[in-house]
Amino acid sequence: MNKSIQKYKHISFQHSWKIGEETIYELGQCNSIIRALCNIPISPDYRLKLLSVSLKKGARSTTAIEGNTLSDEEVEKVDRGIRLAPSKEYQETEVLNILKALNQLLREVSVDHKIERVSAGLIKRLNHMVGKDLGEHFEAIPGKIRRNNVVVEVKYRAPEYKDVELLLKQFCEWSIKEFHFEKGQSFIDSIIQAIVSHAYIAWIHPFGDGNGRTARLLEFYIMLRSGNPDFASHLLSNFYNETRNEYYRHLDKSVKTGDLSEFIAYVVKGYRDGLNDILDLVHKYLFEISWEKYIHDMFQTKKIKGKTESINKRRKNLILAIPIDNKLNIDGIMNLNVEIASTYKVRSPRTLARDIKELIDLKLLNYENGIYQANTALLKRYIPFERGKIKK
C-alpha cells in the first residue's frame, strides 16, 4: 500500500471485525424473513403501496439525519409533484433527489437487471444524484472528489484530499475481493459488505458534501442487488434516523478503534427488527383479505336466507367497513365512511340496530359495554400457534 496512505490506521482495508454468535443468528433470521416475504403472495396493488411508503420513508429518513425538516405530509406532496413553499425549495430538492435515486437504482436492478460492482464511478454517480440541482445548498460539485481538507462535525479529521482518490480506488478493489463479489456472494457477505461500505465512505469522506447520503445509498444498492425486497428499502435509513445518536456514536467509535464489530452488530439488529415489522404488516394484510373472504362466504350460507338481497348487501357492507383492529361505539359505526353514513342517515335508528344485532347473531361482531368490535377471533383460532416466530 502507498506509504502516504498508511497514516490512516482505521482505513486499513483489512477484515477488522468479528461477527458474534448473536449477530450470525440475527443474520440467519434476516435471511429467513426475506425468503418468507419473497414467497408470500401479495397483490400488485398492495406491493406498490408498500414500495411507495418505503421509498418515501427512506428519502425522508436519510435527509432528516442531515437536518432536513420536511414532515411525512410534505414528503408525500413532493412525491406527488406538489410544490412546497419557496422557503423549503432546497429541502424539497434534497428529498426529491433521494426519491429519484432510489427509483433509478430500483429500476436498474429489478427491471433492467443491471448489476454493478462497487467502483469509484458508481460512488461518484451516487453523490451526483444526491447533490443535483441543490446549487449553493450543496457545498461541493456533485459527483466530484473534494479538493480541500475537511473536519467532520469537529470530531473527525477526514483524510487529506490528495489521498482520497487513491483511498477510494483501494477501497473498491479490496471490497470486491473481500466479499467475493466475482465468485458469487453469500447472503451474509452481501449484508456485511453493505454495512462495511457505509462505514468506509463515512471514513474516507470523498466528497465535499453529501457523504452520509452517498454512504446510505451505496448500502441500499448493495443490499438491493443481493435480494433485499424493494418494499423494505427504507429500513436502515429509517433505523439510523430513529436511533440517530447511536448511529453517530457507533460511527465515531469505529473511527477511533478501526473495529467495525459493534457497528455491524448494531446495524444487523436494526435490520432484523425492521424486516420483522414488514412481515407483520404483510401478515396483517393477508389476514384482512381472509376476513373479507370469510364475510363474503358467510353471506352466501343458509344462515341468512329469507332476507332480501338489499338487506344482505347492506349488512355485508357494514361489517366489511368495520376495521378489524378498532373498537367503536354506535356513533363510530354510523360515521365509518361516507357510504355507511349516507345509508343509515335516511333510515330509522332501528334499522341500524337490527343490522348490528344480525351481525352479532352471525358472530361477525362482538358487543360489550357499548363497544363493538369485529369478531376476528373466528379466524385467529385456526392460525397455528406461532412457536417459531422470530423474536426481537
Domain finish residue from 283, 317, 344 = 283
Q: Name the band, by pLDDT with cuts 50, 70 and 90, for residue 382.
A: low
The whole-number average pLDDT for the span 172-183 is 89
Domain finish residue from 249, 283, 317 = 283
Angle at the Cα of 194 from the Cα atoms of 94 and 207, rounded to 5 degrees: 45
126 and 257 assigned to the same domain: yes
Q: Name the band, by pLDDT with cuts 50, 70 and 90, for residue 385.
A: very low
Instruction: Give pLDDT tens digits for 235-244.
Output: 999 999 999 9
How far is it, in rounded angstroms, from Cα 234 to Cα 59?
8
276 and 314 assigned to the same domain: no
72 and 161 assigned to the same domain: yes
The domain tally of the chain equals: 2
209 found inside a domain? yes
What integer best gives the mean pLDDT of the chain? 91
Cite the active site residues: 205
Nearest Cα to Cα of residue 237 among 30, 51, 62: 62
207 and 258 assigned to the same domain: yes
How far is it, in rounded angstroms, from Cα 82 to Cα 92?
10
Domain finish residue from 283, 310, 337 = 283
Residue 96's CB is within 10 A of a number of other CB atoms, namely 18
The pLDDT assigned to 379 comes to 82
Instruction: Give pLDDT tens digits for 47-58.
Output: 999 999 999 999
Higher pLDDT, 227 or 4: 227
DSSP three-state, residue 83: coil
How far is it, in rounded angstroms, from Cα 101 to Cα 112?
15
210 and 314 assigned to the same domain: no
Q: Is the pLDDT of residue 362 over 70?
A: yes
Nearest Cα to Cα of residue 173 among 96, 226, 120, 114: 120
Angstrom distances, CA of residue 80 to CA of 44, 101, 364: 20, 16, 39
* Residue 361: partners with Cβ closer than 8 Å, 6 or more residues away: none
The pLDDT assigned to 306 comes to 56
277 and 306 assigned to the same domain: no
Least confident of 124-133, 175-184, 208-217: 175-184
Least confident of 142-156, 167-181, 203-217, 242-256: 142-156
276 and 312 assigned to the same domain: no
106 and 201 assigned to the same domain: yes
311 found inside a domain? yes
Nearest Cα to Cα of residue 129 among 92, 97, 91: 97
How far is it, in rounded angstroms, from Cα 215 to Cα 195?
9
The pLDDT assigned to 380 comes to 73
- Residue 24 sits in a domain whose CATH number is 1.10.3290.10
Type of residue found at 325? D
Instruction: Give pLDDT tens digits for 287-301.
Output: 999 999 999 988 887
132 and 201 assigned to the same domain: yes
The pLDDT assigned to 308 comes to 82
Residue 45's CB is within 10 A of a number of other CB atoms, namely 8
The range of the structural domain enclosing residue 326 comes to 299-380
Cβ 207 vs Cβ 165: under 8 Å: no
279 and 313 assigned to the same domain: no
Whole-prediction pTM value? 0.87
55 and 190 assigned to the same domain: yes
The whole-number average pLDDT for the span 248-257 is 92
Q: Name the band, by pLDDT with cuts 50, 70 and 90, for residue 383.
A: low
Cell numbers given for 234: 427504507
Cβ 65 vs Cβ 248: under 8 Å: no
290 found inside a domain? no
361 and 269 assigned to the same domain: no
The pLDDT assigned to 389 comes to 47
The whole-number average pLDDT for the span 339-350 is 92
Please report the sign of the dihedral spanned by the C-alpha atoms of residue 270, residue 274, residue 277, residue 283: negative
- Residue 356 sits in a domain whose CATH number is 1.10.10.10
Instruction: Give pLDDT tens digits for 56-106.
Output: 999 999 999 999 999 999 999 999 999 999 999 999 999 999 999 999 999
Q: Is the pLDDT of residue 268 over 90?
A: yes
